[in-house]
Amino acid sequence: MNGGMKINKISDWIWEIPKTEKEGMLVPARIYASNTLLEKMDQGVFEQITNVACLPGIQKYALCMPDGHWGYGFPIGGVAAFSTEDGIISPGGIGFDINCGMRLITTNLKIEEVKPRLSDLVNELYRSIPAGVGSKGFLKLSLSDFKEVMIKGVDWCIEKGYGWPHDRERIEEKGRIAGADPSKVSERAITRGVNQLGTLGSGNHYLEVQLVKIENIFDEKIAKIFGIKEKDQIVIMFHCGSRGFGHQIGTDYLRIFDKTKKKYGMNVKDRELACAPFNSPEGVDYYAAMVCAANSAFVNRQIITHKIRECISRVFGSSAEKLGIEIVYDVAHNIAKREKYVIDGKLKELLVHRKGSTRSFGPGRSELPEKYRDAGQPVIVGGSMQTGSYLLVGTDRAMNETFGSTMHGSGRTMSRRAAKKRFRGDQLIKDMKKDGIIVKAVSLSGLAEEAGFAYKNISEVVETMDASGISKKVVKLLPIGNIKG
């Protein structure tokens, strides 16, 4: 399915499209995949990753992770690093859902305590965390409050009592990225996003109650460090982003970059790859606005965490502290980050675009909290609602090979339309109930689009990155309750 492009095998898990395969490629493109995953990969991935390889200032390789599939602009699963001196920034390399990401939360509850009240728990979470088209959160923020959200991120939540002080340590960038400038955000983005904090969204966004089984713990020592301490433990995982606020910032700047691309001589192969030099006025503005959205996404996930703590406390009649409801980690997988890497023997600052890709920093990095510094960064990979998800750990190898990046999920293999033709939401609810998974969904057709068969085999995707040494498996987590928009 590679559209006739030449692909060289670099190892069992790495495939390279040489830069001679498409006019304008500045670097080769590399795809991480098993043989089977490569064979089944969308043709769009090969087109899109080689388009990315043509963007000015790109370093080493345009990368695609094993969950890669046809997206818009970049493929989903795409990673590209650009020099901050003479490279670009592209909204299409980040996605409209800026800082869409994953958060994993532990409890000290065991399956035997949760099973009899699982239905109550799922109903309580469904009632408290709005999801689906047109959902609003419980917070009523003024404009100045919302500007504080953009700048302070999770620190704002902690000040207002929506989090514990040590929560911030367990969030990428401590939940607050520097460089936010609310004056670079349109009024439209603010009106669109101000009422949506604490909401899940729809599509592939979800909240899941998950189970740790003893046979699914691959690295007991690191699992313990991350707070997965015993068999039959219950954890909560969820997936969402910056909601309408980020979507509007993406739309606003795509429109601006589409107009300025001529001025900067940006001859892109896909209009959605519209970009501007990172150091241009438009590039600087977009980065400052993108950081506002990224910080608001951290806040969104923090408000949801607050609601999760309240819900579990109510259902189990104990405090969140006593129930051990702690954040394991929070990762952004649609974002551009300023990070330093050695390029040609010199330390260089790069703008790493991750679109459907997770940071996977290895041990010893100063960005990691002390608690995790010897182990490496927790990497949270969400699978389909029927098959399970993974917690992994970042490695040194990721720092050398993939700009500290890895996969973000299992990756779709079937279009939404095709899934809807093949599956029915009501039947899925019944089938999943038989498998011990309780589902509450706003939309039955939306649920059908998310059927497990519409996704790649998560274990094969994870195996690829584990075997290639980019991120190592720690625990597989099985769904027992699921909320979808």
Partner 1 sequence: MEEFEFLDDIATADVAIESRGDTLEELFGASATATFEVMVNTKGVKPRIKKVLCLESQEIDTLLFDWLSELIYLKDVEYMVFSDFHIQIQKDANYLLQAQIFGEEICPTRHELRCDVKAVTYHLFDVSKKKGKWVSRFVLDI
Catalytic residues: 408
Asked if 30 touches partner 1 (CB under 8 A), the answer is no
Whether 37 contacts 461, CB under 8 Å: yes
Asked if 473 touches partner 1 (CB under 8 A), the answer is no
Listed residue (410, 400, 394) closest to 474, CA to CA: 394
C-alpha torsion 68→392→100→98, nearest 10: -80
- Smallest gap, in angstroms, from Cβ of residue 236 to partner 1? 22
**Close Cβ partners of 224 (under 8 Å, ≥ 6 residues apart):** none
- Please identify, among the stretches 66-74, 208-216, 223-231, 463-471, the one whose residues bind partner 1 according to the rule CB under 8 A: 66-74
- Smallest gap, in angstroms, from Cβ of residue 337 to partner 1? 21
**Selected binder of partner 1 within 95, 175, 452, 479 (CB under 8 A):** 95
- Give the nearer residue to partner 1 in terms of CB position, either 325 or 448: 448
AA identity, residue 445:
S
Asked if 192 touches partner 1 (CB under 8 A), the answer is yes
Measure the CA–CA gap between 351 and 82, rounded to whole angstroms.
5
Asked if 99 touches partner 1 (CB under 8 A), the answer is no
- Give the nearer residue to partner 1 in terms of CB position, either 203 or 362: 203
AA identity, residue 52:
V
Contacts with partner 1, 326-365, as mask; x by CB under 8 A: ----------------------------------------
Asked if 140 touches partner 1 (CB under 8 A), the answer is no
Asked if 418 touches partner 1 (CB under 8 A), the answer is yes
**Selected binder of partner 1 within 28, 175, 201, 388 (CB under 8 A):** 201
Measure the CA–CA gap between 113 and 115, rounded to whole angstroms.
6
Kindly write down the DSSP assignment for every residue of 450-477, as one continuous string. T-GGGB--HHHHHHHHHHTTSEEEEEEE
- Please identify, among the stretches 12-20, 198-206, 341-349, 390-398, the one whose residues bind partner 1 according to the rule CB under 8 A: 198-206
Listed residue (348, 360, 242, 364) closest to 295, CA to CA: 242
CA distances from 224 to 172, 229, 367, 440, 476 (A): 20, 5, 20, 31, 14
**Close Cβ partners of 127 (under 8 Å, ≥ 6 residues apart):** none
**Selected binder of partner 1 within 147, 170, 247, 355 (CB under 8 A):** 247
Whether 207 contacts 198, CB under 8 Å: no
- Smallest gap, in angstroms, from Cβ of residue 404 to partner 1? 24
With b for 16 or more beta-carbon neighbours within 10 A and e for fewer, the 1-13 pattern comes to: ebeeeeeeeeeeb
Interactions with partner 1, residue window 270-329 (CB under 8 A): 270-272, 274
**Selected binder of partner 1 within 40, 115, 174, 416 (CB under 8 A):** 416
- Give the nearer residue to partner 1 in terms of CB position, either 29 or 447: 447
Asked if 71 touches partner 1 (CB under 8 A), the answer is yes
**Selected binder of partner 1 within 188, 314, 322, 371 (CB under 8 A):** 188
**Selected binder of partner 1 within 120, 181, 232, 258 (CB under 8 A):** 258
**Selected binder of partner 1 within 101, 182, 446, 479 (CB under 8 A):** 446
**Selected binder of partner 1 within 6, 9, 127, 136 (CB under 8 A):** 136
Q: What is the DSSP letter of 368?
A: S
Asked if 244 touches partner 1 (CB under 8 A), the answer is yes
Q: What is the DSSP letter of 206?
A: E
**Selected binder of partner 1 within 443, 460, 469, 478 (CB under 8 A):** 443
3-state secondary structure of 30: strand
Whether 119 contacts 433, CB under 8 Å: no
Asked if 90 touches partner 1 (CB under 8 A), the answer is no
List % helix, strand, coil for the chain (3-state, nearest 5).
40, 25, 35
- Smallest gap, in angstroms, from Cβ of residue 433 to partner 1? 22
Applying CB under 8 A, the residues found at the interface with partner 1 are 42, 44, 69-73, 76, 92, 95-97, 132-134, 136, 188, 191-193, 196, 201-204, 244, 247-248, 250-251, 254-255, 258, 270-272, 274, 412-418, 442-443, 445-446, 449, 485
